[in-house]
């Protein structure tokens, strides 16, 4: 089955800087790559996704890049703010499209 | 829209007891998922229903775990003879269920502690 590795377990940036979180996956059949955010004491909520028919997607300060050859995707958060502090999870769909395999999460801390 | 509702928020059981976790998906959503979250394993897929029908339970420990969706407004996850290693946050999520990869809406989870 699919395996997703999230490379940074923790990441600390200064407010206003950019943060980059990298993930790799194993299943070439994966076509859907969402990112979820979990704030302290709360559940996960969706932030952005990318599908395999594109290699870049942007939503305001969030940019997702997908490199299918390298089986790698990344989340870029520009102009970070303290409220971006949270655990970010990447995920890949595998061949099923519904059964997400999640990375272990990256704790992002944005310091003022 | 209250979102996905999970009850109870916390449950403590003794080893060998049964635990039943409840989930109310967002109204109109056709797909319901159960995931388990632990520090060591992270988020693990357990099972998936579409239009109340069980589609994939490949993540469920077969012997003691069972899930049902008796109607479109709730799903249950039952763990028999709970063991300490079952301690985790159990997350229910729903999606529109249109057949493709879609945004999951997660509940707040049930934190199960097995003593």
Residue B59 CB contacts under 8 Å (≥ 6 apart), including other chains: B36, B44, B45, B46, B47
Average pLDDT over residues B93-98: 87
Q: How far is B14 from chain A (nearest CA, A)?
A: 25
Average pLDDT over residues B10-36: 96
Per the CB < 8 Å rule, is A46 touching B91? no
Instruction: Flag whether residue A51 sits within 8 Å of chain B, measured between CB atoms.
Output: yes
Average pLDDT over residues A98-106: 94
Q: What is the pLDDT of residues B59-85, one digit of tens each?
A: 999 899 999 999 999 999 999 999 999
- The SS3 call for residue A6 is strand
Per the CB < 8 Å rule, is A99 touching B106? no
Most B-contacting residue of A89, A99, A103, A104 (CB-CB within 10 A), to test interface: A99
* pLDDT of B100: 67
Instruction: Flag whether residue A32 sits within 8 Å of chain B, measured between CB atoms.
Output: yes
Residue B101 predicted with pLDDT over 90: no
Instruction: Flag whether residue B106 sits within 8 Å of chain A, measured between CB atoms.
Output: yes
Residue B99 predicted with pLDDT over 90: no
By C-alpha distance, the chain B residue nearest A43 is B108
Rounded CA gap, A64 and A35, in Å?
9
Q: Which among A45, A93, A97 has CB closest to B106?
A: A45
Q: What is the DSSP string of B56-115?
A: E-TTS-TTTEEEEEEETTEEEEEESS--GGG-EEEEEEEE---SS----EE---EEEEE-
Quote the percentage of chain A above a pLDDT of 90.
Answer: 91
Cα–Cα–Cα angle for B30, B36, B42, nearest 5°? 125
């Amino acid at each position: 089955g699919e395996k997703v590795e999230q490379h940074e377990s923790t990441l600390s940036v200064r407010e206003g800087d950019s943060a980059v979180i990298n993930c790799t996956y194993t299943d070439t059949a994966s076509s859907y790559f969402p990112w979820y955010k979990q704030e302290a004491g709360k559940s996960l909520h969706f932030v952005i996704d990318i599908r395999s028919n594109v290699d870049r997607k942007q939503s305001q300060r969030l940019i997702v890049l997908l490199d299918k050859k390298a089986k790698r995707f990344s989340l870029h958060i520009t102009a970070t703010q303290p409220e971006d502090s949270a655990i970010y999870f990447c995920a890949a769909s595998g061949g099923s499209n519904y059964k997400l395999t999640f990375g272990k999460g990256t704790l992002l801390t944005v310091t003022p | 829209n209250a979102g996905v509702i999970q009850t109870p928020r916390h449950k403590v059981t003794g080893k060998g007891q049964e635990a039943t976790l409840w989930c109310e998906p967002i109204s109109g959503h056709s797909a319901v998922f159960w995931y388990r979250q632990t520090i060591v394993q992270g988020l693990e897929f357990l099972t998936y229903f579409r239009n109340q029908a069980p589609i994939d339970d490949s993540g469920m420990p077969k012997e003691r775990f069972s899930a049902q969706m008796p109607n479109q407004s709730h799903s249950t996850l039952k763990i028999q003879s709970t063991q300490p290693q079952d301690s985790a946050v159990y997350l229910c999520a729903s999606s529109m269920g249109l057949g493709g990869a879609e945004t999951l809406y997660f509940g707040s989870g049930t934190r199960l502690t097995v003593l």
